[in-house]
Amino acid sequence: MYLPDHFNQQDADEIAAYMHAFPLATVITMVDGQMWPTQIPLFLQGDVLIGHVARANQMWKHDGTTDVLVVFGGADTYITPNWYETKRLTHEVVPTWNYASVNIWGELTLHDDAKWKRMAVGKLTTIHERTNAEPWKMGDAPQEYLESQLGHIIGIEISINRLEAKWKLNQNRTLADREGVIAGLSNRGSQPDATIAEMMRTTITPDAE
């Protein structure tokens, strides 16, 4: 993807945290000669991504190639030029869009083994139930019902071959402009605005101009 150096995020911990915070990824495969996008919640385990899709989803009936593209998005918002200090000085400013994105090129492996699928669903459930006061557990469902539901899904495992992460957060602008954007986002107050504002704060280092 188009990735200028100042937007290139290479901190592995930051990237992993972002994928955990925004786990719904778009997985693109080839089905019948056409690109086939599928939205799937995934979790990172070592150097692989794990999830599952409905058996009825044609995504897993790919064209013989196992190459996939995975895109994690989630955090983005509009930036008005009114927030830039440069507007007051020269008016030479235009709107933009701030966002973060992780693109992964990998190899897809399918799993139809009940034990593997139980593992995948169990881990995914544990990850997203842990903040609940009374977390739901797979054992809460009747065994026969659970086995029936597992039969309706296909497990997917994506081995990561290459990863690119883009944090487009005004790093190419002056410190005053960036601080103006952070203040503007904080005042506007939506959840996406708050997320981008916090991510922008992490990009401002003590030696920033």
User: For position 151, which CATH number holds?
Assistant: 2.30.110.10
Round to whole Å and give the CA distance between 88 and 36: 47
Q: Which two tokens stand for residue 195?
A: 């997320």
Residue 109 included in any domain: yes
In a domain, 197, yes or no: no
Tell me whether residue 194 is in a domain.
no
How many domains is the chain built from?
A: 1
Identify whether 56 is part of a domain.
yes
Range of the domain at 57: 5-74+98-172
What's the predicted TM-score (pTM) here? 0.91
Domain-embedded: residue 81: no
- Domain-located, residue 89: no
Assign 104 to helix, strand or coil: strand
**Please, is 116 exposed, middle or buried when counting C-beta atoms within 10 Å of its C-beta (0-12, 13-18, 19+)?**
middle
pLDDT (tens digit per residue) in 71-97: 999 999 999 999 999 999 999 999 999
Q: What is the spatial distance between Cα 164 and Cα 9, in angstroms, rounded to a whole number? A: 8
Residue 159 counted as domain residue: yes
Q: Residue 204's pLDDT band (boundaries 50, 70, 90)?
A: confident
